[in-house]
């Protein structure tokens, strides 16, 4: 999951660098690149690219495409770290959906950790200059991503990770093409370094998608999804050093609160054991 978060961080930076290119055009190029890479990998490994659990594979592609569109929009309309922080509401949606549909158990301490992280997100929204529509797009993207990640969880030990990754661009590509046919946009021809960033978007996406898929196949949604918050650190560092973004202390405080919730979640078992020991001492008295 740490490798995935770093891959997505460089993907975010690539998208940010080409903010002058329309969102759907970026997603179009990204889908073409990742589709080609995914198919080549499956062909080399001699794995059937179509899989067997088509309902969940398609759901992963549809929800993933919707979440991607919303997320790329926020990347191009907000400061990098702010867009990432809002997108990281997705672990909360992921956990809620997993609890309702996959019957995964969520401990009270984990709910507390999500409440802490959500408070941090609200602090960032409250202190940062973010348009309401942009914020709504970010929340929508996080919710759709939550559904996509649960589709992956449902295919644990059932589908090859590369097949799941393959379905994301396979579904995204016709959706984007259909949108561009219905709502034509002015095509911006990439120039010079734009091509490098477009290619980088596809390559870093491939890295992030593969490792995040493997992660969700290995552990519960509540634990795995929380690790993705580490991407906030990458977002702040890249925003500052690559794009000269500045963040007031209040926003940095909100981000720290978000990460505090993550650490609480990752150490939920140790916290619970400590609480049980303290409780036993009082009961013993």
Residue-wise pLDDT tens digits, 159-169 = 898 999 999 99
Higher pLDDT, 199 or 84: 199
The mean predicted confidence, pLDDT, of the chain is 84
pLDDT of residue 259: 78
pLDDT of residue 277: 67
120 within 8 A of 257, measured Cβ to Cβ: yes
Question: In the structure, what pLDDT confidence band is assigned to residue 127 with cuts at 50, 70 and 90?
Answer: low
Residue 56 has pLDDT above 60, yes or no: yes
pLDDT average, residue stretch 272-285: 66
Residue-wise pLDDT tens digits, 64-73 = 999 988 988 8
Residue-wise pLDDT tens digits, 136-155 = 999 999 999 989 988 988 88
pLDDT of residue 271: 67
Looking at mean pLDDT, say which of 31-45, 68-82, 225-239 comes out highest.
31-45
Lowest-pLDDT range, 85-89, 94-98, 152-156, 268-272? 268-272
Question: In the structure, what pLDDT confidence band is assigned to residue 46 with cuts at 50, 70 and 90?
Answer: very high
Give the 3-state secondary structure of the chain.
Answer: CHHHHHHHHHHHHHHHHCCCCCHHHHHHHHHHHHHHHHHHHHHHHCCCCCCCCHHHHHHHHHHHHHHHHHHHHHHHHCCHHHHHHHHCCHHHHHHHHHHHHCCCCCCHHHHHHHHHHHHHHHHHHHHCCCCHHHHHHHHHHHHHHHHHHHHHHHCCCCCCHHHHHHHHHHHHHHHHHHHHHHCCCCCCCCCCHHHHHHHHHHHHHHHHHHHHHHHHHHCCHHHHHHHHHHHHHHHHHHHHHHHCCCCCHHHHHHHHHHHHHHHHHHCHHHHHHHHHHHHHHHHHC
Return the C-alpha torsion angle 74, 132, 178, 187, nearest 10: -60
pLDDT of residue 222: 64
Residue 38 has pLDDT above 90, yes or no: yes
Give the 3-state secondary structure of 7-25.
Answer: HHHHHHHHHHHCCCCCHHH
């Amino acid at each position: 999951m740490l490798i995935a978060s770093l891959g997505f961080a460089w993907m975010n930076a690539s998208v940010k660098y080409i903010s002058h290119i329309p969102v759907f055009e970026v997603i179009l190029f990204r889908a073409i690149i990742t589709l080609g890479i995914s198919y080549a990998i499956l062909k080399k490994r001699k794995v059937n690219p179509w899989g067997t659990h088509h309902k969940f594979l398609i759901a992963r592609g549809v929800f993933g495409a919707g979440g991607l569109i919303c997320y790329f929009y926020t990347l191009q309309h907000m400061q990098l770290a702010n867009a990432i922080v809002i997108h990281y509401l997705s672990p909360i949606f992921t956990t809620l959906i997993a609890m309702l549909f996959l019957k995964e158990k969520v401990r009270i301490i984990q709910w507390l950790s999500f409440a802490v992280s959500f408070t941090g997100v609200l602090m960032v929204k409250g202190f940062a200059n973010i348009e309401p529509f942009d914020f709504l797009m970010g929340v929508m993207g996080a919710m759709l991503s939550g559904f996509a990640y649960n589709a992956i969880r449902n295919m644990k030990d059932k589908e090859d990770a590369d097949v799941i990754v393959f379905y994301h661009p396979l579904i995204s590509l016709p959706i984007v093409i259909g949108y561009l046919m219905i709502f034509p946009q002015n095509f911006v021809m990439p120039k010079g370094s734009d091509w490098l960033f477009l290619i980088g978007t596809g390559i870093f996406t491939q890295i992030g998608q593969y490792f995040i898929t493997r992660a969700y196949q290995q552990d519960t949604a509540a634990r795995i999804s929380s690790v993705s918050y580490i991407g906030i650190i990458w977002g702040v560092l890249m925003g500052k050093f690559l794009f000269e973004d500045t963040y007031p202390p209040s926003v940095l405080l909100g981000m720290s609160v978000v990460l505090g919730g993550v650490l609480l979640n990752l150490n939920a078992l140790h916290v619970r054991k400590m609480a049980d020991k303290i409780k036993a001492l009082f009961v013993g008295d």
